[in-house]
Amino acid sequence: MSGLPSRPPPQYAVLLLALTFSACGKETQAPPEETSANHVAVARLAAEETMAKATLRNLVAAQAQLQVVGWIDTDQDGVGEYGGLLELSGAVAGRGHEALTPAVIGEAFRTLDAEGRAHFEGYTYRLFLPGRKGIAVGEPAGGFTRAMKVPADAAEQAWACLAWPSTAGTQQRSFFVATSGQLLATAPGRHGGDQGAPPAPVFEGLEARPGGDGSSATWTTLE
């Protein structure tokens, strides 16, 4: 019929549909280099979590070794006390008579920042000993000393360490370990950075209140 456009052959319609889908795919797919970078970032964050858990488990073994040999025994009752990161790494004598040799934890923990925190592979670590009435005493920048009067009997029984992401917003978990060796974790992204550190633990009922904010809703046990 004259005056009406003729219908295109079927093969042209198929070609047009294919080109449309191809264009849509190009608009929605991330560039290969961007996808690769995302995968690398996710893998790095996962590796940092794995390293943090391994570090805390190694710390459990190091504390047990230090306590058994009685390297720190401020009340001289023949029962060893648990140490701080600087004492365990051999950086200072601390409450011992001399610096520990060989050290039982790595060189990364021989230096603490002004708040007494160590930084290693994307995580921040803070170690605590029980003070009077079970109040947690965080390790100071220069390490624990005899002048701090950390109760010897309490330091023979307990210690605790928190580890959380050094950078806020990474959606990584925070971790906690204490004398029992049981590792606990938070949900991803709960803590992060200097301003987002977990609160100090409470040594009375420690396993129930590992981060001061306590409760099973905050901290869960890792297998």
Q: Is the pLDDT of residue 43 over 80?
A: yes
Question: Highest mean pLDDT range out of 1-10, 56-65, 193-202?
Answer: 56-65
- The larger pLDDT score, comparing residue 208 to residue 36, is at 36
Statement: residue 25 has pLDDT above 90: no
Is residue 216 left, alpha or beta, with left meaning phi > 0 and alpha meaning psi from -120 to 50? alpha
6-15, 61-70, 132-141, 164-173: least confidently modelled range: 6-15
| More confident of the two residues 1 and 204 | 204
Confidence of residue 35 (pLDDT cuts 50, 70, 90): confident
pLDDT at residue 218, as a whole number: 81
* Bridge partner list, 128: 138, 160
What is the rounded CA–CA span in Å between residue 72 and residue 97? 8
Structure tokens of 112?
């603490």
Q: CA 139, 127, 72: angle at the middle one, nearest 5?
A: 70
Q: Which residue has the higher pLDDT, 149 or 135?
A: 135
* 62-77 pLDDT, tens digit each: 999 999 999 999 999 9
Q: Give the chain's mean pLDDT.
A: 86
Mean pLDDT in residue range 202-212: 73
Report the DSSP beta bridge partners of residue 165.
123
Q: Provide the pLDDT for residue 21.
A: 42
Please tell me which residue, 185 or 6, carries the higher pLDDT value: 185
Q: What is the mean pLDDT of residues 19-32?
A: 52
Q: How many whole angstroms separate alpha carbon 75 and alpha carbon 20?
A: 81
CA–CA gap between residue 58 and residue 52 (Å, rounded): 10
Q: Is the pTM of this model over 0.85?
A: no
> What is the rounded CA–CA span in Å between residue 108 and residue 131?
26
- 3-state helix/strand/coil string of the chain: CCCCCCCCCHHHHHHHHHHHHHHHHHHHCCCHHHHHHHHHHHHHHHHHHHHHHHHHHHHHHHHHHHHHHCCCCCCCCCCCCCCCHHHHCCCCCCCCCCCCCCCCCCHHHCCCCCCCCEEECCEEEEEEEECHHHEEEECCCCCCCHHHCCCHHHHCCCCEEEEEECCCCCCCCCEEEECCCCCEECCCCCCCCHHHCCCCCECCCHHHCCCCCCCCCCCEECC
Q: At residue 4, does pLDDT exceed 60? A: no
Please write the tens of the pLDDT for every residue from 74-101.
999 999 999 999 999 999 999 999 999 9
pLDDT band at 200 (very low <50, low <70, confident <90, very high): confident
Confidence of residue 13 (pLDDT cuts 50, 70, 90): very low
Q: How far is CA 173 from each of CA 1, 52, 82, 168, 220, rounded to the nearest angstrom? A: 72, 10, 26, 11, 11
CA-only gyration radius of the chain, Å: 27
Average of per-residue pLDDT across 7-30: 49
Calpha distance 144→121 (Å, rounded): 24
